[in-house]
Structure 1
Amino acid sequence: MCKSHFSKVTSLIFILAMMIFVSCKWKHHQEIDSIEIADDYIDALNASDYDKLVGLFVDSIRFNEMDYIRTFSREEYRSLFQWDSVFAPTYRILNVKKAGGELHLKVSKECERINFLHEKPFVTNEIMQIKDGGIYQIDVIEYVDFNDSLWVDKREKLVSWIEKNHPGLNGFIYDQTKEGAVKFRKAIAFYKNSRDFNNQQENN
């Protein structure tokens, strides 16, 4: 083999090696970036930082819960975000796994409303779709730890008691605005300070 041919082969091998190295580095960088996006999303929720949160989405806010499909413009999502923020929620990523352009997440959530109705955080399995360096869609696909019967029972007792004792707060359960959340918190506070609630606690 002549010297010039050997040099060309060596150069080609070097170029191929560099291409593989850069490709692996880029793939690893993408994986880190997508997990950072998920971390930033949770941080924005916990900090009630609306601007940071909507900035993580590529366009519309697509947030689907089981068969309930919801798509919001950024301004439309503001009201629901404010409602959730009033209850001072804490979100935690319990597990994360990357699969293609998706992140499979196990997420826990607790807040004043959940602690009252569920008595502990509830846990969901979610899929976060990442496209063009941002969040395209989030799907809640499963409730891992959610006591539906307890939630419904406590909600019905709260609503019935408020209708009887504080009718001015009626409708709070369906009002997903900031004002509705404030009424919800007042309803919980009134009920927890009532004799009916304290008697229930003693009987449990």
Structure 2
Amino acid sequence: MYLLVSCDFNKKEIDKETIAKAYIHGLNTSNYDQVVGLFLDSVRFNEMDYRRTFSKQGYRDLFQWDSVFRPKYAILEIKDKDNELHLKVSKKCDRILFLQNKPFVTHEVMKIEEGKIQSIDVVEYLDFNDDLWVRNREQLVNWVSEHHPELDGFIYDQTKLGAQNFTKAMELYGNRNNVAAEQENSSK
């Protein structure tokens, strides 16, 4: 599949499903060059009403941030409708499993022009528990703020360092009961 991605899409028309699968493969292997090489000119993501456009170089920080959480994406369904690919995509990573205890699933529309991805639109959350996500995020942020203020602000830092701090915060929070028990035993 990587050889297909390396080909010049302008010289040889590659079908849309192959492009979508190559994109997911690049995400799963944290291959930045492969992923940005699939986009037409800039990297465009639209998530409901939230629109983000990055230069290919400007996308690097967000890509590195996501890669730290070891994401695994899967295309659950793919349909070519009205010259767009409609994808049902599952995403699982350490952060998502921590915040909602299971992968989340989205309905995405991939627009392709000239053999490259023009944009990817998340048009619907199909399996996302917003209440649980918010509750777990707030508990994590509040606990970190109180017990590890050196990590405060990790939730807003979408750089590689921010993701590493997020991972550290999840680890510390997950081990909080063990640490408390050890402290109690040592004081006896």
TM-score range, shorter chain: 0.7 to 0.9
Partner of 1:192: 174
User: Could you tell me which residue of structure 2 aligns to residue 138 of structure 1?
Assistant: 120
Structure 1 runs (4+) greater than 4 angstroms displaced: 196-199
* 1:172 matched to 2:172: no
1:195 CA drift (Å) = 1.7
More displaced 10-residue stretch of structure 1: 99-108 or 112-121: 99-108
User: Residues 173 and 196 of structure 1: is their aligned pair in 2 closer, same or farther, counting only changes over 3 Å?
Assistant: farther
1:97-112 matches, within 5 Å, as 97-112=79-94
Letter in 2 for 1:120: K
Cα RMSD for the two superposed structures:
1.8
Post-superposition shift, 1:33? 1.2
Partner of 1:14: none
Q: Which of the two has higher C-alpha Rg? A: 1
- The sequence identity of aligned pairs, in percent, is 59
* Higher normalized contact order (CA 8 Å, seq sep 6+, divided by chain length): 2
* Residue-by-residue CA offset, 1:74-131 (whole Å, 9 max, x unaligned): 1110000000000000000000000232100000001000000010000000000010
- Using a 3 Å threshold, how does the CA distance of structure 1 residues 33 and 72 change in structure 2: closer, same or farther? same
How far, CA to CA, are the matches of 2:55 and 2:180 in structure 1?
43
5+ unaligned residues in a row in structure 2: which ranges? Answer: 1-11, 182-188
Q: CA deviation at 1:198?
A: 9.5
Q: Deviations over 1:47-92 (max 9, x none)?
A: 0000000000010101110000111001110000000000000000
CA distance in 1, matches of 2:27, 2:54: 17
Q: Which residue of 1 aligns with 2:23?
A: 41
* TM-score (norm. length: structure 1): 0.80
Q: Measured at CA, do residues 99 and 165 of structure 1 come closer, stay the same or move farther in structure 2, by a change above 3 Å?
A: same
Question: Of residues 85, 96, 99 in structure 2, which corresponds to 1:114?
Answer: 96
Residue number in structure 1 paired with 2:7: none
Distance 1:93 1:126 in 2: 10
CA contact (8 A) 1:63 1:69 kept: yes
TM-score, L = length of structure 2 = 0.87
Corresponding letter in the other structure for 2:76 = L
Provide the rounded CA distance (Å) in 2 between the counterparts of 1:69 and 1:101.
21
Code of the residue aligned with 1:135 in structure 2: it is: I
- Structure 1 residue 196: Cα displacement: 8.8
Question: Separation in 1 of the partners of 2:98 and 2:53?
Answer: 28
The corresponding residue for 1:8 is: none
Distance 1:198 1:40, change over 3 A: farther
User: Mapping of 1:1-204 within 5 angstroms?
Assistant: 33-195=15-177
Larger proportion of helix: 1
Distance 2:180 2:122 in 1: 35
Deviations for 1:125-156, whole angstroms, at most 9, x for unmatched residues? 00000100010010000000000000000000
> Which deviates more, 184-193 or 94-103?
94-103
Distance in 2 (alpha carbons) for counterparts of 1:72 and 1:197: 42
One-letter amino acid of the structure 1 residue matched with residue 154 of structure 2: F
